[in-house]
Each structure stands twice: as C-alpha cells, then as structure tokens.
Amino acid sequence: MTLATRIYWRIAGRFNQVRAGRARAAARVFEARAEKFLARFKGGRTYNFARRPKTPSGLTPYEYVCKICTSEPDRFILDPIHQMPGLNT
C-alpha cells in the first residue's frame, strides 16, 4: 500500500468518525426533545386526542351550527355573492 493510499484511508476514517459523532449528537438532541414533549403529557396532565371538542350544550361545533341553521335560518345568509372569491381569499 502506498503512502498516499494510507493517508487517504486515515483521512477517510477520521471523516467517518466525525460524521458518526454528529449523527449520535443529533440523535441525542432528538431524544431530549421527544422526552421533553412527552413529559408534558405525564403525571395527570394527559390529553385525550380522541375526544370530540364539545360546546357547553354537549354538541360538537358542526352539530351546533347545524342546529342553529335549522332553528334560526335568518342568521345565515345564502347569497351567492358571499361565496365568490374576492380580494381576501
């Protein structure tokens, strides 16, 4: 093996060590962030993502709007001009 080849492999090995070290550091940072995120949900402060959001009357927002739309149709304007895209869309 020539001197140039030995130098090349030594440099390549050091480069791989540095790259592997950066990967390990990135993994540690990710694990720390994940632990910090999951810690918020431990200890009785858990949040159930499967629950439906409900209003005080016990309806979901969609159900509430449907109920009001049928009981008070004058609050909902069915003008086609309101459905057209304008400047703020």
pLDDT in tens, the chain (89 residues): 687 777 777 777 777 788 888 888 999 998 888 888 777 766 555 556 666 666 667 787 888 888 888 998 888 877 777 777 777 65
Q: What is the pTM of this model?
A: 0.35
Residue 59 CB coordination number (10 Å): 15
Q: Return d(Cα 88, Cα 80) in angstroms, integer.
A: 17
Dihedral of CA 60/66/69/75: which sign?
positive
What one-character DSSP code corresponds to residue 84?
S
